[in-house]
Amino acid sequence: MTTTAKIFTEMPSQVTVMEVSPRDGLQNEDTLLTTADKLALIDHALGAGCKRIEVTSFVHPKIVPQMADAEAVCAGLPERADVKYTGLILNEQGYDRLCAARKLDEAGLVISATDTFGLRNQGLDVATGISMAQRVIQRGHADGFPVQVTIAVAFGCPFEGDVSIEKIEQIALALATAAPVEIALADTIGVAVPDQVHRAFSRLKDVLGDAMPLRAHFHDTRNTGIANAYAALLAGVNTLDASIGGIGGCPFAPNASGNIATEDLVYMLDRSAVSHGVVLENLLAAADWLQPILGKPLPSSLYRAGTFPASVTPDA
């Protein structure tokens, strides 16, 4: 017997856009950007009004060569009291490196929703990943340093298939006992659909309460990313990840293509009267700068099609 999903309600009046192109956007690219180019990309994001940016990850350089200069990127970050810089970590060693860099405002910890992906991605099954995350979050409390957690492959795993909402609920509740500053669900391989997204985040809202901020991370692998973002907002998500130009992907997941494009997301938010503080024209300028750097067309739909004019003057 099937159950009926909750009816979608209304969009929030305001959301936060988390710009992830300097980390998740670049980590799967063949072209290795210089530290200067990465800092230029971050400057473009700042110029577009992004106030929360994932700037790098502290992972082994042999596994993710694109992130080998994490400390150098951190050293070059502009001092901005109004911006929150985040670094991604996979374990306690990553947390040590991030704290030693001294320039970031938040640690973004990732654990997996399935044993197989977790073992391939960071050498940890789900239970071990949860224990590690709880320790890192507790260390963050002791250090006075915010730690948020993302549950990867939350909507489907390339090795184990579907992931149940019940499993995601159990993982989120276990993480919540350590009191992270935020919990996110990531569609790492781009298999989610809006009904699934809405039900999952609605369940987390029910069990975690309004005091726990929720974030969503979508990939547009199967052309459902923006629709999934819309469904997440309707379920009460506070923050959405996106990447300039729609670049990105996971090196540990087969055929995991890019993130939702920040400009595509902002276009949807603008025309839905949702406030976010990011300037669409500046995002398009950033994409225009980025495309020749990467040497290939960007996946972003809006970058290819252009914005919809506010008004059209008919021919005389």
CA distance 229 to 268: 10
DSSP state of 296: S
Question: Cβ-count burial of 149 within 10 angstroms (0-12 exposed, 13-18 middle, 19+ buried)?
Answer: buried
> Which entry of 50, 74, 157, 250 is annotated as an active-site residue?
250
pTM: 0.93
Given this model, what pLDDT does residue 52 score? 98
Given this model, what pLDDT does residue 4 score? 42
Whether 250 sits among the annotated catalytic residues: the reply is: yes
Given this model, what pLDDT does residue 197 score? 98
What letters, b where the CB count within 10 A reaches 16 and e where it falls short, cover 178-194?
Answer: bebbbbbbbbbbbbbeb
Given this model, what pLDDT does residue 313 score? 57
Q: Which domains does the chain have, with CATH numbers?
A: 16-305 (3.20.20.70)
Given this model, what pLDDT does residue 3 score? 42
pLDDT tens per residue, the chain (316 residues)? Answer: 344 444 456 789 999 999 999 999 999 888 999 999 999 999 999 999 999 999 999 999 988 999 999 999 999 999 999 999 999 999 999 999 999 999 999 999 999 999 999 999 999 999 999 999 999 999 999 999 999 999 999 999 999 999 999 999 999 999 999 999 999 999 999 999 999 999 999 999 999 999 999 999 999 999 999 999 999 999 999 999 999 999 987 666 665 668 999 999 999 999 999 999 999 999 999 999 999 999 999 999 999 999 987 655 556 4
What residues are paired with 57 via a beta bridge? 88
Given this model, what pLDDT does residue 28 score? 86
Compute CA distances 239 → 131, 139, 182, 295, whole Å.
25, 24, 10, 30
Given this model, what pLDDT does residue 1 score? 33
**For residue 266, which of 255, 257, 254, 277 has the smallest C-alpha distance?**
277
Given this model, what pLDDT does residue 249 score? 73
